[in-house]
Protein backbone atom coordinates (compact mmCIF):
# COMPACT_ATOMS: atom_id res chain seq x y z
CA UNK A 1 0.00 0.00 0.00
CA UNK A 2 1.23 3.41 -0.80
CA UNK A 3 2.15 5.33 2.31
CA UNK A 4 2.78 8.99 2.69
CA UNK A 5 2.06 11.53 5.35
CA UNK A 6 -3.60 13.87 3.99
CA UNK A 7 -1.05 16.01 -0.73
CA UNK A 8 0.08 17.82 -4.41
CA UNK A 9 1.05 19.23 -7.82
CA UNK A 10 1.16 22.76 -9.14
CA UNK A 11 -1.78 25.10 -8.64
CA UNK A 12 -2.21 27.06 -11.84
CA UNK A 13 -3.15 30.50 -10.57
CA UNK A 14 -4.85 32.36 -13.37
CA UNK A 15 -5.83 35.72 -11.92
CA UNK A 16 -6.04 37.86 -8.79
CA UNK A 17 -9.04 39.88 -7.66
CA UNK A 18 -8.82 43.37 -6.25
CA UNK A 19 -8.16 41.99 -2.76
CA UNK A 20 -5.43 39.66 -4.05
CA UNK A 21 -7.56 36.53 -3.83
CA UNK A 22 -6.02 33.87 -6.05
CA UNK A 23 -8.29 32.05 -8.48
CA UNK A 24 -7.24 28.63 -9.77
CA UNK A 25 -8.25 26.92 -13.00
CA UNK A 26 -8.35 23.27 -11.98
CA UNK A 27 -10.41 20.11 -12.57
CA UNK A 28 -13.70 19.88 -10.70
CA UNK A 29 -12.56 17.19 -8.26
CA UNK A 30 -9.07 18.54 -7.57
CA UNK A 31 -8.60 19.09 -3.86
CA UNK A 32 -12.25 18.32 -3.01
CA UNK A 33 -12.70 16.52 0.27
CA UNK A 34 -15.45 14.15 1.41
CA UNK A 35 -16.01 13.21 5.05
CA UNK A 36 -17.61 9.76 5.32
CA UNK A 37 -18.91 8.70 8.72
CA UNK A 38 -21.05 6.25 10.62
CA UNK A 39 -22.30 7.16 14.08
CA UNK A 40 -24.11 4.79 16.42
CA UNK A 41 -23.95 6.68 19.72
CA UNK A 42 -23.60 10.20 18.27
CA UNK A 43 -19.93 10.61 19.14
CA UNK A 44 -18.77 10.33 15.54
CA UNK A 45 -21.44 12.81 14.44
CA UNK A 46 -20.13 15.31 16.99
CA UNK A 47 -16.61 14.76 15.69
CA UNK A 48 -17.73 15.40 12.11
CA UNK A 49 -19.58 18.56 13.15
CA UNK A 50 -16.39 19.84 14.77
CA UNK A 51 -14.21 18.79 11.83
CA UNK A 52 -16.33 20.62 9.28
CA UNK A 53 -16.06 23.89 11.20
CA UNK A 54 -12.31 23.74 10.59
CA UNK A 55 -12.14 22.78 6.92
CA UNK A 56 -14.30 22.78 3.82
CA UNK A 57 -15.69 19.35 2.97
CA UNK A 58 -18.83 17.56 1.86
CA UNK A 59 -20.30 15.03 4.28
CA UNK A 60 -21.74 11.56 3.70
CA UNK A 61 -23.41 9.60 6.52
CA UNK A 62 -23.54 5.81 6.23
CA UNK A 63 -26.71 4.20 7.58
CA UNK A 64 -27.53 0.51 8.22
CA UNK A 65 -30.37 -0.84 6.09
CA UNK A 66 -32.06 -2.29 9.17
CA UNK A 67 -32.86 0.45 11.64
CA UNK A 68 -33.23 0.32 15.40
CA UNK A 69 -30.90 -2.59 16.10
CA UNK A 70 -29.16 -2.63 19.48
CA UNK A 71 -25.67 -3.84 18.65
CA UNK A 72 -24.53 -3.57 22.26
CA UNK A 73 -27.41 -5.53 23.84
CA UNK A 74 -26.72 -8.78 25.69
CA UNK A 75 -23.02 -8.19 25.99
CA UNK A 76 -22.67 -6.85 22.46
CA UNK A 77 -24.13 -10.08 21.06
CA UNK A 78 -25.36 -8.73 17.71
CA UNK A 79 -22.33 -6.52 17.13
CA UNK A 80 -20.02 -9.46 17.79
CA UNK A 81 -21.98 -11.67 15.38
CA UNK A 82 -21.60 -9.08 12.61
CA UNK A 83 -17.87 -8.74 13.20
CA UNK A 84 -17.35 -12.51 13.35
CA UNK A 85 -19.19 -12.97 10.05
CA UNK A 86 -16.80 -10.53 8.38
CA UNK A 87 -13.74 -12.19 9.92
CA UNK A 88 -14.92 -15.62 8.74
CA UNK A 89 -15.06 -14.59 5.08
CA UNK A 90 -13.84 -11.01 4.55
CA UNK A 91 -13.84 -11.28 0.74
CA UNK A 92 -17.57 -12.02 0.35
CA UNK A 93 -20.10 -9.20 0.19
CA UNK A 94 -22.62 -11.48 1.91
CA UNK A 95 -20.45 -11.36 5.06
CA UNK A 96 -21.13 -7.66 5.54
CA UNK A 97 -24.33 -6.13 7.00
CA UNK A 98 -26.53 -4.29 4.50
CA UNK A 99 -26.43 -0.50 4.37
CA UNK A 100 -28.66 2.09 2.75
CA UNK A 101 -27.82 2.84 -0.90
CA UNK A 102 -25.21 5.57 -1.34
CA UNK A 103 -25.67 8.06 -4.18
CA UNK A 104 -22.52 10.11 -3.60
CA UNK A 105 -19.96 9.51 -6.36
CA UNK A 106 -16.40 9.22 -5.12
CA UNK A 107 -15.14 10.30 -8.53
CA UNK A 108 -16.08 13.83 -7.46
CA UNK A 109 -13.45 13.81 -4.69
CA UNK A 110 -9.69 13.64 -4.39
CA UNK A 111 -9.48 13.43 -0.57
CA UNK A 112 -11.55 11.33 1.83
CA UNK A 113 -11.70 11.43 5.63
CA UNK A 114 -13.25 8.38 7.29
CA UNK A 115 -14.80 8.87 10.74
CA UNK A 116 -15.76 5.59 12.35
CA UNK A 117 -16.50 4.07 15.76
CA UNK A 118 -14.62 1.13 17.22
CA UNK A 119 -16.51 -2.06 18.06
CA UNK A 120 -14.67 -4.57 20.23
CA UNK A 121 -11.28 -3.34 18.96
CA UNK A 122 -12.43 -3.54 15.33
CA UNK A 123 -13.96 -1.12 12.87
CA UNK A 124 -17.75 -0.89 13.18
CA UNK A 125 -19.31 -3.45 10.84
CA UNK A 126 -21.50 -0.84 9.13
CA UNK A 127 -18.48 1.23 8.07
CA UNK A 128 -16.69 -1.93 6.98
CA UNK A 129 -19.55 -2.60 4.56
CA UNK A 130 -19.21 0.81 2.95
CA UNK A 131 -15.43 0.55 2.58
CA UNK A 132 -15.67 -2.98 1.17
CA UNK A 133 -18.20 -1.84 -1.41
CA UNK A 134 -16.26 1.32 -2.27
CA UNK A 135 -12.69 -0.01 -2.36
CA UNK A 136 -12.34 0.13 -6.14
CA UNK A 137 -13.70 3.69 -6.30
CA UNK A 138 -11.32 4.75 -3.54
CA UNK A 139 -8.24 3.39 -5.30
CA UNK A 140 -5.57 6.10 -5.57
CA UNK A 141 -7.56 8.52 -3.39
CA UNK A 142 -5.88 10.34 -0.50
CA UNK A 143 -7.44 9.02 2.69
CA UNK A 144 -7.24 9.87 6.38
CA UNK A 145 -9.17 8.48 9.34
CA UNK A 146 -10.53 9.47 12.74
CA UNK A 147 -11.52 6.67 15.12
CA UNK A 148 -13.84 7.09 18.10
CA UNK A 149 -13.75 4.64 20.98
CA UNK A 150 -14.47 4.59 24.70
CA UNK A 151 -10.99 3.54 25.82
CA UNK A 152 -9.75 0.74 23.54
CA UNK A 153 -6.77 1.38 21.30
CA UNK A 154 -7.40 1.75 17.58
CA UNK A 155 -4.75 -0.49 16.02
CA UNK A 156 -7.38 -3.07 15.05
CA UNK A 157 -9.44 -0.44 13.25
CA UNK A 158 -6.36 0.76 11.38
CA UNK A 159 -5.67 -2.84 10.32
CA UNK A 160 -9.26 -3.23 9.11
CA UNK A 161 -8.98 -0.02 7.08
CA UNK A 162 -5.75 -1.13 5.43
CA UNK A 163 -7.27 -4.51 4.56
CA UNK A 164 -10.40 -2.95 3.11
CA UNK A 165 -8.62 -0.17 1.19
CA UNK A 166 -5.40 -1.69 -0.19
CA UNK A 167 -4.94 0.83 -3.03
CA UNK A 168 -5.38 4.18 -1.30
CA UNK A 169 -2.71 6.63 -0.21
CA UNK A 170 -2.89 7.00 3.56
CA UNK A 171 -2.25 10.59 4.56
CA UNK A 172 -0.69 10.32 7.99
CA UNK A 173 -1.67 8.56 11.20
CA UNK A 174 -5.26 7.99 12.27
CA UNK A 175 -6.56 10.33 14.97
CA UNK A 176 -7.87 8.61 18.10
CA UNK A 177 -10.64 10.40 19.99
CA UNK A 178 -11.85 8.59 23.11
CA UNK A 179 -14.03 9.22 26.15
CA UNK A 180 -11.25 10.99 28.03
CA UNK A 181 -10.42 13.51 25.29
CA UNK A 182 -13.70 13.83 23.37
CA UNK A 183 -14.37 17.22 24.96
CA UNK A 184 -11.02 18.42 23.58
CA UNK A 185 -11.74 17.21 20.05
CA UNK A 186 -11.61 20.70 18.50
CA UNK A 187 -7.96 21.15 19.48
CA UNK A 188 -7.10 17.54 18.64
CA UNK A 189 -8.62 17.87 15.17
CA UNK A 190 -7.01 21.26 14.56
CA UNK A 191 -3.56 19.90 15.37
CA UNK A 192 -4.16 16.71 13.38
CA UNK A 193 -5.23 18.58 10.25
CA UNK A 194 -1.89 20.37 10.10
CA UNK A 195 -0.15 16.99 9.80
CA UNK A 196 -2.13 15.87 6.76
CA UNK A 197 -1.09 16.34 3.15
CA UNK A 198 -4.07 16.56 0.87
CA UNK A 199 -3.88 16.19 -2.88
CA UNK A 200 -4.81 19.34 -4.76
CA UNK A 201 -3.76 18.30 -8.24
CA UNK A 202 -2.41 15.27 -10.01
CA UNK A 203 1.31 14.63 -9.88
CA UNK A 204 3.29 15.28 -13.06
CA UNK A 205 6.64 13.64 -13.71
CA UNK A 206 8.30 16.78 -15.11
CA UNK A 207 7.71 18.68 -11.88
CA UNK A 208 9.22 18.52 -8.44
CA UNK A 209 8.14 20.63 -5.49
CA UNK A 210 10.37 22.22 -2.88
CA UNK A 211 8.89 23.25 0.47
CA UNK A 212 10.79 25.53 2.85
CA UNK A 213 9.24 27.13 5.92
CA UNK A 214 5.68 26.42 4.80
CA UNK A 215 6.15 27.88 1.30
CA UNK A 216 6.18 25.56 -1.71
CA UNK A 217 7.61 26.27 -5.16
CA UNK A 218 7.53 24.11 -8.27
CA UNK A 219 10.64 23.02 -10.14
CA UNK A 220 10.59 22.17 -13.85
CA UNK A 221 12.85 19.16 -14.24
CA UNK A 222 15.13 18.57 -17.21
CA UNK A 223 15.21 15.15 -18.87
CA UNK A 224 18.25 13.09 -17.95
CA UNK A 225 19.23 9.96 -16.03
CA UNK A 226 19.58 11.88 -12.77
CA UNK A 227 16.06 13.32 -12.84
CA UNK A 228 14.56 9.98 -13.88
CA UNK A 229 16.24 8.36 -10.88
CA UNK A 230 15.18 11.21 -8.62
CA UNK A 231 11.55 10.90 -9.72
CA UNK A 232 11.62 7.16 -9.01
CA UNK A 233 12.98 7.88 -5.54
CA UNK A 234 10.33 10.53 -4.85
CA UNK A 235 7.57 8.15 -5.94
CA UNK A 236 8.33 6.34 -2.68
CA UNK A 237 7.54 9.51 -0.74
CA UNK A 238 8.94 12.98 -0.03
CA UNK A 239 12.63 13.40 0.81
CA UNK A 240 13.64 15.71 3.65
CA UNK A 241 17.09 17.25 3.49
CA UNK A 242 19.01 19.81 5.54
CA UNK A 243 20.77 22.45 3.46
CA UNK A 244 23.08 25.33 4.35
CA UNK A 245 24.20 28.50 2.60
CA UNK A 246 27.53 28.50 0.82
CA UNK A 247 29.56 30.95 -1.23
CA UNK A 248 26.91 33.63 -1.31
CA UNK A 249 25.13 31.94 -4.23
CA UNK A 250 23.51 28.68 -3.09
CA UNK A 251 22.14 26.47 -0.37
CA UNK A 252 23.34 22.89 -0.59
CA UNK A 253 23.67 19.59 1.25
CA UNK A 254 23.55 15.82 1.04
CA UNK A 255 20.56 14.07 -0.48
CA UNK A 256 21.22 10.90 1.50
CA UNK A 257 21.45 8.84 -1.70
CA UNK A 258 23.28 8.99 -5.02
CA UNK A 259 21.98 9.77 -8.50
CA UNK A 260 23.62 9.09 -11.88
CA UNK A 261 25.71 12.01 -13.12
CA UNK A 262 26.24 13.64 -16.52
CA UNK A 263 28.61 16.35 -15.34
CA UNK A 264 29.65 19.22 -17.54
CA UNK A 265 30.98 22.70 -16.96
CA UNK A 266 27.91 24.78 -16.18
CA UNK A 267 27.41 28.37 -15.14
CA UNK A 268 24.53 27.88 -12.72
CA UNK A 269 22.18 30.84 -12.31
CA UNK A 270 19.55 31.92 -9.79
CA UNK A 271 16.79 29.32 -9.62
CA UNK A 272 18.87 26.42 -10.91
CA UNK A 273 18.60 23.08 -9.11
CA UNK A 274 21.88 21.22 -9.48
CA UNK A 275 23.34 17.81 -8.59
CA UNK A 276 26.91 18.04 -7.26
CA UNK A 277 29.20 15.03 -6.94
CA UNK A 278 26.25 12.70 -7.49
CA UNK A 279 24.83 12.90 -3.97
CA UNK A 280 24.44 16.60 -3.12
CA UNK A 281 21.68 18.98 -4.16
CA UNK A 282 22.34 22.68 -4.71
CA UNK A 283 19.63 25.35 -4.93
CA UNK A 284 20.96 28.55 -6.44
CA UNK A 285 20.01 32.14 -5.64
CA UNK A 286 23.14 33.47 -7.36
CA UNK A 287 25.61 32.28 -9.99
CA UNK A 288 28.60 29.94 -10.03
CA UNK A 289 30.54 27.98 -12.66
CA UNK A 290 31.53 24.36 -11.96
CA UNK A 291 31.20 20.79 -13.18
CA UNK A 292 27.58 19.94 -12.37
CA UNK A 293 24.62 17.82 -13.44
CA UNK A 294 21.58 19.97 -14.05
CA UNK A 295 18.30 18.82 -12.46
CA UNK A 296 15.90 21.67 -13.16
CA UNK A 297 14.90 25.23 -12.38
CA UNK A 298 12.65 26.76 -9.71
CA UNK A 299 9.64 28.33 -11.41
CA UNK A 300 8.42 31.89 -11.20
CA UNK A 301 10.72 33.63 -8.70
CA UNK A 302 13.15 36.44 -9.36
CA UNK A 303 16.54 36.58 -7.62
CA UNK A 304 15.27 38.61 -4.67
CA UNK A 305 12.32 36.28 -4.17
CA UNK A 306 14.64 33.28 -4.45
CA UNK A 307 16.88 34.65 -1.72
CA UNK A 308 13.87 34.96 0.60
CA UNK A 309 12.45 31.56 -0.31
CA UNK A 310 15.80 29.76 0.02
CA UNK A 311 16.66 31.60 3.25
CA UNK A 312 19.93 32.82 1.79
CA UNK A 313 22.68 33.18 4.37
CA UNK A 314 21.12 30.74 6.84
CA UNK A 315 22.29 27.25 7.80
CA UNK A 316 20.50 24.02 8.73
CA UNK A 317 17.52 24.83 6.51
CA UNK A 318 14.84 22.11 6.46
CA UNK A 319 13.82 21.39 2.88
CA UNK A 320 11.23 18.92 1.57
CA UNK A 321 11.47 17.52 -1.96
CA UNK A 322 8.30 15.92 -3.36
CA UNK A 323 6.48 15.04 -6.55
CA UNK A 324 3.36 16.73 -5.26
CA UNK A 325 2.74 20.17 -3.87
CA UNK A 326 1.65 19.95 -0.25
CA UNK A 327 -0.97 21.82 1.70
CA UNK A 328 -2.58 20.57 4.84
CA UNK A 329 -5.80 22.61 4.68
CA UNK A 330 -7.25 23.52 1.31
CA UNK A 331 -9.97 25.82 2.64
CA UNK A 332 -9.63 26.93 6.23
CA UNK A 333 -12.55 28.29 8.23
CA UNK A 334 -10.90 30.27 11.01
CA UNK A 335 -12.34 30.36 14.50
CA UNK A 336 -12.33 34.16 14.78
CA UNK A 337 -12.92 34.05 18.51
CA UNK A 338 -9.47 32.50 18.83
CA UNK A 339 -7.43 33.46 15.79
CA UNK A 340 -8.68 36.89 14.76
CA UNK A 341 -10.34 37.83 11.47
CA UNK A 342 -7.11 38.93 9.84
CA UNK A 343 -4.97 35.91 10.72
CA UNK A 344 -2.80 34.43 7.98
CA UNK A 345 -1.99 30.74 7.64
CA UNK A 346 0.65 29.02 5.55
CA UNK A 347 -0.52 26.45 3.02
CA UNK A 348 0.35 23.69 5.48
CA UNK A 349 -2.02 25.12 8.07
CA UNK A 350 0.43 26.96 10.33
CA UNK A 351 -0.43 30.43 11.62
CA UNK A 352 2.01 33.02 10.23
CA UNK A 353 2.91 36.04 12.35
CA UNK A 354 5.43 37.71 10.04
CA UNK A 355 4.51 36.77 6.45
CA UNK A 356 6.86 37.30 3.52
CA UNK A 357 5.91 37.28 -0.13
CA UNK A 358 4.01 34.11 -1.07
CA UNK A 359 0.66 32.32 -1.00
CA UNK A 360 -1.32 32.21 2.28
CA UNK A 361 -4.77 31.35 3.60
CA UNK A 362 -6.87 34.17 5.06
CA UNK A 363 -10.49 33.85 6.14
CA UNK A 364 -10.77 30.55 4.30
CA UNK A 365 -9.35 31.85 1.01
CA UNK A 366 -5.97 31.66 -0.65
CA UNK A 367 -4.37 35.05 -1.15
CA UNK A 368 -1.11 36.22 -2.67
CA UNK A 369 1.14 38.72 -0.86
Single residue among 162, 193, 224 that ends a domain in this structure = 193
Are 93 and 174 within one domain? yes
| CA-to-CA dists, residue 97 to 52, 85, 132, 257, 335, angstroms | 28, 9, 11, 49, 39
> Domain range spanning residue 270?
207-322
Are 188 and 214 within one domain? no
Q: Is residue 291 part of a domain?
A: yes
The H or E element that residue 4 is part of is: strand 3-4
Q: Is residue 213 part of a domain?
A: yes
Dmax over CA atoms of the chain, in Å, equals: 78
DSSP 173-213: PPEEE-TTTGGGHHHHHHHHHTT--B--S---TTEEEEEET
Residue 222: CB atoms within 10 A of its CB come to: 15
Q: Is residue 101 part of a domain?
A: yes
Number of domains in the chain: 2
For residue 285, what pLDDT is reported?
96
* pLDDT tens, per residue, the chain with 369 residues: 333 333 333 222 233 333 333 333 344 555 689 999 999 999 999 999 999 888 888 999 999 999 999 999 998 899 999 999 999 999 999 999 999 999 999 998 989 999 999 999 999 999 999 999 999 999 988 999 999 999 999 999 999 999 999 998 888 889 999 999 999 999 999 889 887 766 444 444 588 999 998 788 889 999 899 999 999 898 888 899 999 999 999 999 999 999 999 999 999 999 999 999 999 999 999 999 999 999 999 998 899 999 999 999 999 999 999 886 544 444 434 333 333 445 665 554 555 666 765 555 665 555 666
Q: Is residue 330 part of a domain?
A: no
For residue 237, what pLDDT is reported?
82
Amino acid sequence: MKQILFMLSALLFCCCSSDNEVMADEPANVGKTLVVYYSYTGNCRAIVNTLTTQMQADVLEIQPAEKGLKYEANGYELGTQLLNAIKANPNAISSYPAIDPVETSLSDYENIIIVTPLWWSQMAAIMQTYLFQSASEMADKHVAMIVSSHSSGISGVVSDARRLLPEVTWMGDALWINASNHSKRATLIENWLTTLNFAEEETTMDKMFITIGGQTQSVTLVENAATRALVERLKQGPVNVTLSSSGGFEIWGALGFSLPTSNQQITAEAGDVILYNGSNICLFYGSNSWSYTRLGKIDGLNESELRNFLKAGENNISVKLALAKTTAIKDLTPDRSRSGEGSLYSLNGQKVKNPTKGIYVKNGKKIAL
